[in-house]
């Protein structure tokens, strides 16, 4: 396999699909060497098969807004790879959603899910519906119209969607209600991220952020460092940033920044519990403005319009918002301000130039999203297990299992990512570990 040749062919076949091509190239660069040691992979054309989704559903979603006007959006479900289990991955509602974005996310999800140790394949879906400024009633009508098409594509042993950007507990509730109505199936397992009274798992809302901090803790510990007393800058203020802020504070770190599309809030004394609770109010308001935090806590949270979280001095940077949110320029600014660790919590949060720059800095600790944020989907897997057994575990049990999974993912990264000089390349480690598992499963199941 030559990465350049495969990428040229792929770019010709899928012109303009920038995020998808970026995600594939990153994985191929990491696995090239290992892949070429396995002639049987080449013979079975594993790469050519693995980079294409099994299938993509595209559908029209028509709904009526509060003014009585008819609105039409596009809906998608990308079923990427089912070699190790049913398709599993979130739904993203965001105005910029395209097939390219969902293909990149489905591709990433396949490897991420393989790392969790649980039997889950990779999928992703969503819509170009923009939740910003929408009322609860509009959100409900959209979710119902979306499920009117999606329900035929999914099932507890086929494809199990969950939340992602723009889709949280509220949306999963509306989606699940409509699924049950249409299918007359009252099992609890077709979506994850459900409410606590109807099959949800305790700690699922917190899981992505908690898992990310457990992973960060292991990265630091392996490098002989402690997170206690360190300053952390987070981007975003949604579900992932919220969970990360709770756990960072619990582990003794100081969260000194959160951000939004409108700018950054610096929090010099560190985020408080009241501020963390207020993040949930901000998310539910659909305003998408981090300035609301500064208005609510004047003098404690200081808003600067148009700036990113990466402009605030910190030890550890945790991108928690969107793909490509941290550029090479941001990486240089962070390092110049003394940052020595970046754990990507968002999917593909760092641009390739940023990753290369971080990795070129001696001693800098960088870990990629598919390892760092896997605690979210892992806890979805734990939700599926509880649903299948018709039981609910308590918080201690779920937290211990989540922590054990994050420890295992870290171990896999160390196993496959330790370099000749003793340093750990977490990007390589995560990609090779995930790839080997999916490739082996595909090989053993023949040409399908």
Active-site residue set: 124
Based on the shown chain and the rule CB under 6 A, indicate whether residue 323 belongs to the binding site for ligand GLU.
no
Based on the shown chain and the rule CB under 6 A, indicate whether residue 89 belongs to the binding site for ligand GLU.
yes
Task: Output the smallest distance, CB 192 to ligand GLU, in A.
Answer: 5
Which residue's CB atom is positioned nearest to ligand GLU?
90
Q: Return the structure tokens found at 282.
A: 């901000």
Question: Of 299, 289, 231, nearest to 259 (Cα)?
Answer: 289
Point out which residues pair with 304 in neighbouring strands: 264
Q: Which stretch binds ligand GLU (CB under 6 A): 42-50, 83-91, 227-235, 280-288?
A: 83-91
Among 75, 85, 90, 205, binds ligand GLU (CB under 6 A): 90
Task: Output the smallest distance, CB 379 to ligand GLU, in A.
Answer: 7
Alpha helices in 314-373 (DSSP H): 328-336, 352-360, 369-372
**CA dihedral (403, 407, 413, 419) positive or negative:** positive
Cβ distance to ligand GLU smaller for residue 35 or 93: 93
Cβ distance to ligand GLU smaller for residue 239 or 291: 239
Q: Is residue 352 within 8 Å of 21, Cβ to Cβ? A: no
Residue 203 CA to residue 379 CA, distance in Å, equals 8
Q: Return the structure tokens found at 234.
A: 């987070």
Cβ distance to ligand GLU smaller for residue 122 or 417: 122
Task: Output the smallest distance, CB 166 to ligand GLU, in A.
Answer: 11
Cβ distance to ligand GLU smaller for residue 118 or 342: 118
Cβ distance to ligand GLU smaller for residue 90 or 263: 90
Task: Output the smallest distance, CB 35 to ligand GLU, in A.
Answer: 25
Which residues, 24 to 63, sit near ligand GLU by CB under 6 A?
A: none
Strand ranges of the sheet holding 254-260, from the earlier edge strand across to the other edge = 302-305, 263-266, 254-260, 231-234, 316-318, 341-343, 365-367
Among 26, 73, 78, 88, binds ligand GLU (CB under 6 A): 88
Using CB under 6 A as the binding criterion, the count of chain residues that bind ligand GLU stands at 12
Which residues, 362 to 391, sit near ligand GLU by CB under 6 A?
A: 373, 376-377, 380
Q: Is residue 382 within 8 Å of 351, Cβ to Cβ? A: no
**CA dihedral (13, 18, 20, 25) positive or negative:** positive
Alpha helices in 36-98 (DSSP H): 39-43, 46-50
Residue 320 CA to residue 172 CA, distance in Å, equals 21
Cβ distance to ligand GLU smaller for residue 147 or 256: 147
Q: Which residues contact residue 368 at a Cβ distance below 8 angstroms, ignoring those fewer than 6 apart?
A: 344, 355, 426, 427, 430, 431
Task: Output the smallest distance, CB 137 to ligand GLU, in A.
Answer: 25
Q: Return the structure tokens found at 332.
A: 């240089």
Q: Which stretch binds ligand GLU (CB under 6 A): 21-29, 87-95, 350-358, 413-421?
A: 87-95
Based on the shown chain and the rule CB under 6 A, indicate whether residue 81 belongs to the binding site for ligand GLU.
no
Give residue for tokens 């940052």: 339
Residue 204 CA to residue 162 CA, distance in Å, equals 11
Which residues, 148 to 207, sit near ligand GLU by CB under 6 A?
A: 162, 164, 192
Which residues, 331 to 350, sit near ligand GLU by CB under 6 A?
A: 347
Task: Output the smallest distance, CB 185 to ligand GLU, in A.
Answer: 19
Cβ distance to ligand GLU smaller for residue 320 or 377: 377
Task: Output the smallest distance, CB 191 to ligand GLU, in A.
Answer: 9
- In degrees, to the nearest 5, what angle opens at C-alpha 26 toward C-alphas 42 and 77? 85
Which residues, 97 to 126, sit near ligand GLU by CB under 6 A?
A: 109
The two most distant CA atoms of the chain are separated, in Å, by 65
3-state DSSP helix/strand/coil % of the chain, to nearest 5: 50, 15, 35
Interface with ligand GLU (CB under 6 A): 88-90, 109, 162, 164, 192, 347, 373, 376-377, 380
């Amino acid at each position: 396999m030559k990465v350049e040749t495969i990428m040229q062919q792929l770019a010709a076949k899928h012109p303009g699909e920038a995020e998808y091509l970026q995600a594939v190239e990153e994985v191929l660069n990491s696995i090239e060497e290992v892949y070429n040691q396995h002639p049987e992979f080449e013979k079975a054309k594993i790469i050519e098969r693995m980079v294409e989704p099994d299938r993509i559903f595209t559908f029209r979603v028509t709904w009526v807004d509060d003014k009585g006007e008819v609105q039409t959006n596009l809906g998608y479900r990308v079923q990427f790879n089912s070699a190790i289990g049913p398709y599993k991955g979130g739904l993203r509602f965001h105005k910029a959603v395209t097939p390219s974005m969902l293909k990149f996310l489905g591709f990433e999800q396949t490897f991420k899910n393989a790392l969790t140790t649980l039997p889950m394949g990779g999928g992703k879906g969503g819509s170009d519906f923009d939740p910003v400024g929408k009322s609860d009633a509009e959100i409900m009508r959209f979710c119902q119209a979306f499920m009117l098409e999606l329900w035929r594509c999914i099932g507890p042993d086929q494809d199990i969607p969950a939340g992602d950007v723009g889709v949280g507990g509220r949306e999963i509730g509306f989606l699940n209600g409509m699924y049950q109505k249409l299918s007359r199936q009252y099992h609890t397992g077709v979506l994850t991220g459900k409410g606590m009274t109807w099959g949800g798992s305790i700690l699922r809302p917190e899981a992505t952020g908690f898992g990310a901090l457990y992973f960060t803790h292991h990265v630091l510990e392996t490098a002989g460092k402690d997170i206690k007393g360190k300053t952390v800058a987070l981007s975003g203020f949604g579900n992932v940033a919220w969970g990360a802020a709770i756990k960072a504070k619990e582990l003794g770190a100081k969260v000194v920044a959160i951000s939004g599309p409108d700018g950054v809030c610096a929090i010099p004394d560190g985020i408080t519990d009241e501020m963390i609770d207020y993040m949930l109010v901000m998310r539910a308001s659909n305003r998408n403005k981090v300035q609301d935090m500064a208005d609510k806590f004047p003098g404690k949270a200081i808003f600067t319009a148009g700036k990113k979280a990466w402009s605030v001095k910190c030890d550890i940077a945790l991108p928690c918002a969107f793909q490509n949110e941290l550029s090479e320029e941001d990486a240089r600014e962070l390092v110049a301000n003394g940052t020595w660790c970046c754990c990507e919590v968002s999917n593909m949060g760092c641009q390739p130039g940023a990753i290369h720059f971080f990795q070129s800095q001696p001693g800098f600790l960088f870990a990629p999203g598919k390892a760092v944020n896997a605690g979210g989907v892992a806890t979805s897997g734990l939700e599926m297990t509880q649903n299948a057994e018709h039981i609910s575990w308590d918080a201690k049990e779920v937290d211990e299992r989540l922590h054990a999974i994050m420890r295992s993912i870290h171990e896999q990264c160390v196993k496959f990512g330790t370099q000749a000089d003793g340093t750990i390349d977490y990007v390589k480690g995560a990609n090779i570990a995930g790839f080997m598992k999916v490739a082996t499963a595909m090989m053993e199941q023949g040409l399908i």
